[in-house]
Structure 1
Amino acid sequence: MISLAISLHALSSVIWVGGMFFAYLVLRPSIATQLDSPQQLSLWSTVFAKFFPWVWVCAVLLLGTGFWLIFNKFGGMKYVAPYVHLMMSMGIIMVLIFMHIFFAPTRKLKRAVTEQNWEGAAKSLGQIRLLIAINLIIGLSVIVIATAGRYMVG
């Protein structure tokens, strides 16, 4: 059961952080050079509608498997190393940022695209872009902490 939890935990982080990396560093600049603003905004609305359900699954799996491992493999919070506490805290922050993205600017983006309010849609996309950049930096940092943490502590 532990190997399944660790595998699901790792796969969830790869899907979520890898998806953000691809979207931010590959898809975003490609779209910007190929499509006009209304097409870009419509495409982003569609991309988020397809990607965010996967992020929900990953967030639930990351938190669920993380807490399960802490309590079932290590015996509880007081027995895990400080880097695990840091990793868990950063993961929770990422989930909270994602929830804000999902429930606020993404809904505004979808509504603005439907209404062809391109100025409003662009404003919402700008908010989403900034928050995803923050989450990407946190996510990459968590991966470094998760893989190197035990070697960085005494």
Structure 2
Amino acid sequence: MSIAIALHLLASTIWVGGMFFAYVALRPVTVDLLEPPVRLTLWARVFERFFPWVWAAVILLLGTGLWMTFAVFGGMATVGLHVHLMLALGVVMMLIFLHIYFAPYRKLSKAVDTEDWPAGATQLGQIRRLIGINLILGLLVVVIASGGRYLM
């Protein structure tokens, strides 16, 4: 169980922490300093390196979360409301990530490869909004995970 918890926390830290860094620190600097071709290329390459980590996080979070819920705690009927909320919000986050990965990210990569900067900017804007939503959901999940059983 302690290995599952450690992997679960590590995966959530990588995913939510990565989104926080990208949204709060990296994005404002790139907007201030870089022209669109360089900025869009940078983001395409950043996502290229970050998204495999998100895939690993999604697999680990789902696997360890479900394993702990069913193998350790006896199923969804026996866990608290905070676990139900974490699972629901986590699934929404995963679905948003899947959409980002298979739609605007792929279009951003293609736009960068073909140097279609206006199309790339449109896709990056969509990714930014969706990552913003996922960041808020992820921070909410952290609050629920750390204090949920005491608050509910």
With normalisation by structure 1, the TM-score equals: 0.98
SS at match of 1:75: coil
How many angstroms apart in 2 are the aligned matches of 1:111 and 1:79? 47
Computed over aligned residues only, the root mean square deviation of the Cα atoms, in angstroms, reads 0.5
What CA deviation, in whole Å up to 9, does each residue of 1:96-141 have, x standing for no partner? Answer: 0000000000000000011100000000000000000000000000
How many angstroms apart in 2 are the aligned matches of 1:68 and 1:146? 16
Q: By how many angstroms is 1:75 displaced?
A: 0.6
Q: Does 1:94 align with 2:93?
A: yes
Q: By how many angstroms is 1:73 displaced?
A: 1.2
Task: Point out 4+ residue stretches in structure 1 off by more than 3 angstroms.
Answer: none
Unaligned residue ranges in structure 2 (runs of 5+): none
User: Percent identity over the alignment?
Assistant: 57
Counterparts of residues 3-152 of structure 1 (less than 5 Å): 3-152=2-151
Unaligned residue ranges in structure 1 (runs of 5+): none
With normalisation by structure 2, the TM-score equals: 0.99
How many angstroms apart in 2 are the aligned matches of 1:37 and 1:103? 22
SS at match of 1:116: coil
How many angstroms apart in 1 are the aligned matches of 2:121 and 2:42? 12
**Would you say how many aligned residue pairs link Structure 1 and Structure 2?**
152
How many angstroms apart in 2 are the aligned matches of 1:82 and 1:31? 40
Q: By how many angstroms is 1:147 displaced?
A: 0.3
How many angstroms apart in 1 are the aligned matches of 2:104 and 2:49? 16
How many angstroms apart in 2 are the aligned matches of 1:72 and 1:7? 16
How many angstroms apart in 2 are the aligned matches of 1:136 and 1:6? 21
